[in-house]
Amino acid sequence: MSPLLHERLANKIRIRLLEPEDSLAHLTGLLHRAYKQHMERGIQALAAFQPEEVTRRRVSDGECYVALYMGRVVGTIMFKSPEQTARAWPGVPWFDRPEGGVASFSQFAVEPEYQGKGIGMELLRRAEDRAAAINAAELALSTPGPAEWLVAMYARHGYREVARWHWRETNYDSLIMSKPVGA
Ligand SMILES: CC(C)(COP(=O)(O)OP(=O)(O)OC[C@H]1O[C@@H](n2cnc3c(N)ncnc32)[C@H](O)[C@@H]1OP(=O)(O)O)[C@@H](O)C(=O)NCCC(=O)NCCS
């Protein structure tokens, strides 16, 4: 790894919306590489194995942001308004409540070699800024219950558990965590 990569990279990246010319094959590969750490612990998250068509469908229902470092996409996060969240996940507790003003983020990943350098928090900040900009009441996420470090990270950043859910595609129970926008 180059010495540069040991630095925090948060101020060297650019975040923008996914554009039509961005490669969904690359984005899908990034998700697979990032989520591999969970697969290795037996946590079968959809993003770890989803085919490109699923990425295409998932990025189409909301705002997909990408983080660029030296022109390369190295991270991503998907933001959904309360209406998009309720439409995407009918029947799911907390998410299926358009009148509750619950925005969400998902498909949150950073290339393994770039993790731990502040890029993830920049992407999360973008989702939080978008939630504030549209006057959402809450920003929520679903995370694998067995991924203890992730649950602890979200808790450190003000997200609390509001529900539990078992997604059909996975082999674990997820925690739905949420934070009042602006808190
Ligand atoms: C979650 C993820 C997007 C965070 O991106 P990142 O660029 O590594 O995040 P940052 O460098 O901004 O660090 C964010 C926090 O996570 C912590 N963190 C990052 N990697 C960690 C690891 N492997 N183990 C424990 N903590 C870790 C950092 O210490 C930091 O904590 P703090 O904000 O309280 O100081 C990234 O680790 C990833 O792609 N993980 C695999 C996919 C995934 O789990 N996505 C989320 C599913 S809900």
Residue 149 CB less than 6 A away from ligand 1: yes
- What average pLDDT does range 131-158 have in this prediction? 97
115 lines ligand 1 (CB under 6 A): yes
CA of 45 to the centre of ligand 1 (A): 16
> What CATH architecture does domain 3-180 belong to?
3-Layer(aba) Sandwich (3.40)
pTM for the whole structure: 0.95
pLDDT of residue 5: 52
Question: Directed axis angle between helix 24-39 and helix 52-60, to 10°?
Answer: 100
Cα of 99 vs centre of ligand 1, distance in Å, is: 31
In the block, tokens 């470092």 appear at: 69
Distance 20 CA to ligand 1 centre (A): 27
Residue 40 reports pLDDT greater than 90: yes
Confidence of residue 1 (pLDDT cuts 50, 70, 90): very low
Q: Torsion over CA of 97, 98, 100 and 101, rounded to 10 degrees?
A: 140
* Partner residues linked to 146 by β-bridges: none
What residues does each domain of the chain span?
3-180
CB of 119 within 6 A of ligand 1: the answer is: yes
Give the mean pLDDT of 27-45: 97
Which tokens sit at 58? 């998932």
d(CA 148, CA 110): 18
Residue 149 to residue 137: CA distance in whole angstroms: 26
d(CA 178, CA 104): 8
pLDDT tens-digit readout, 85-137: 999 999 999 999 878 899 999 999 999 999 999 999 999 999 999 999 999 99
More confident residue, 10 or 161: 161
* Pair 165, 183: CB distance under 8 Å: no
**CB distance 103 to 81 below 8 Å:** yes
The pLDDT of 44-62, averaged and rounded, is: 96
Query: Which residues, 6+ apart, have CB-to-CB distance to 151 below 8 Å?
Result: 143, 145, 161, 175, 177
